[in-house]
Amino acid sequence: MLWVGLSGGIGSGKSTVSARLARLGAVVVDSDRLAREVVEPGMPALAAIVERFGPAVVGSDGALDRAALGAVVFADEQARLHLEAITHPRIAARTRQLAAAAPQDAVVVHDIPLLVELDRAADYALTVIVDVPQEERLRRLVDLRGVGEAEARRRIAAQATDEQRRAAADVLLDNAGTVEELHDRVDRLWAGRLVPFEANLRAGTGSRRPETVELVGPDPAWRPAAVRLLARLGGALESAAVRLDHVGSTSVPGLRAKDVIDLQVVVEHLAVLDDPGVRDRLRTRGLVVEEGHGRWDHAHGTGTTGGQTWPKRMVSSADPARVVHCHVRPASSPAWRLALLLRDWLTAEEGERDAYAGLKEGFARSGLQASDYATAKEPWFAAAVPRAEAWAARTGWDVGDA
């Protein structure tokens, strides 16, 4: 099962996307519908709402008067938080029930308006945000829904900003155009990413880089993507993660690289990746533990000998559109410190960064295959580590906080 979060600001057209995904075959769990269900007459949540906000929020038929309640909570942040404390736990419980009932090969789309506001992006394998500029959403609320402009502005202001949503988005669906254009974007997302993502995840297969080495970038999308992925890893590993970092070439500003995001997680013991609970939480977030390869680092630095290795494990993303190599290293391994040192040294030293870029470009031009690329760079690393250590001693560098 692939667990996808879908969100967008009020007036963005999120429901149109949700309906299209359902038509394509997704199992849609609609938070708005569940929010209505949990406050139906006779439900405990409605009684709690009346107790908190008074009988004026209930109509003559005994049902919740949404307009009356909305007028209160959109104008008062504390009131909105009280409402959420009543409804959200009940909605969450029903959401879990529906997701658990979905077929094993399902793409389950959680249509949740407050995904960003609730800081839920790291709970999903993929977060899809329907993107429409705020002024266009305001126009739609006023012209198409008949909401007064002042009230529409209050509702928009009560939600996350456009910038916050974009930072949370693995996929940003532009809906500033026609419905037909939006449908086309959703169809391509479904066939090109969601369906193969689910298949990879069910098979326990991480997405692989192409065998032909191609350098791109530097890409400003790498850093925010790494932040989102690290949050997912942290959510899956919980307290077992000692620290989480973006490492490798995509973490060095200005450096061309393969479009592969390298991450590092430090744990006390590598056996944590064999915990069924950890594996389930990783899978929910679109991540799989690699078996049979990537179980060691070449040792470099003072006191090491040729051929010496340090243990590690690998976690990959099953997302076909985002290749991720997560190096899980024990706290006892010197490799995790070296990864941070090399990142910061290359960031600080332009000449060393340029020399490394030239080496990489040469390998790419030679037609070197990706499976041989890492090995080919090892002599450079062996020579570079003493220079990086000298820089660290000269500048007082330390690993700092994650």
Annotated binding site: 11-16
Name the E strands within 292-385. 296-298, 309-311, 313-317, 323-330
Amino acid, res. 312: K
Amino acid, res. 298: H
Amino acid, res. 177: G
Residue 111 and residue 122: Cα distance in Å, rounded? 15
Q: Which helix (H) or strand (E) holds 3?
A: strand 2-8
Place of tokens 């990783």: 282
Rg (CA), the chain: 25
Q: Which helix (H) or strand (E) holds 216?
A: none
Sign of CA dihedral 226, 227, 232, 234: positive
Residue 110 and residue 103: Cα distance in Å, rounded? 15
3-state DSSP of 153-197: HHHHHCCCCHHHHHHHCCEEEECCCCHHHHHHHHHHHHHHHHHHH
Name the E strands within 200-349. 241-247, 260-267, 287-289, 296-298, 309-311, 313-317, 323-330
Other CB atoms within 10 A of residue 36 CB: 14
Residue 365 and residue 360: Cα distance in Å, rounded? 9
Query: Which segments are annotated as binding site for ATP?
Result: 11-16
Name the E strands within 57-188. 107-111, 126-131, 171-174
Three-class DSSP category at 199: helix
